[in-house]
Amino acid sequence: MKVWWIDKNKLGIGSYDGTNVTKLDSAKTVRIHFTKKETSITDLPADYHEGVVARVIEKLAVKGDDFNKAQYYNSQWTNAVSQGKKEAHMGKDGSSINVMRYDY
């Protein structure tokens, strides 16, 4: 079976025979095909629109060298992302699911 993994921001590709993983020879060429899904702000729930707008204003403020404004809108964006992740990990019964990160 063909397998892939990401380790230290590098893609690993190999095969797994049930007990051992054999890495793909680094001299081989790998072609990756993907399709990008076009999204718009209307694809997001309305609760997150302000967060997206805050991110845009932050980027514009940085280009205009207004770093105080950029810092404020970055915190708004960060709060919106945090809230979105919290809601994404909410169980259907209203309980929270904790996701623990682990580096291999």
| pLDDT digit string, tens, across residues 30-55 | 777 777 777 676 677 788 888 989 99
Domain-located, residue 3: no
Nearest Cα neighbor of 18 from 1, 34, 35 is 1
Residue 29 pLDDT exceeds 80: no
Domain-located, residue 22: no
Read off the pLDDT band of 61 (50, 70, 90).
Answer: very high
Domain-located, residue 99: no
What is the count of structural domains for the chain?
1
- Residue 41 CA to residue 90 CA, distance in Å, equals 22
Return the sign of the alpha-carbon dihedral for residues 31, 35, 40, 44: negative
pLDDT tens digits, one per residue of 63-83? 989 999 999 999 999 999 888
Domain-located, residue 29: no
Domain-located, residue 66: yes
Domain-located, residue 75: yes
Domain-located, residue 27: no
> Tokens 């095969």 appear where?
15
Question: The tokens of 75 are what?
Answer: 């915190």
Contact indicator for 104, 9 with CB cutoff of 8 Å: no
| Averaged pLDDT of the chain | 80
- Supply the pLDDT for residue 43: 73
Domain-located, residue 25: no
What range defines the domain where residue 77 resides?
41-88
Read off the pLDDT band of 96 (50, 70, 90).
Answer: low
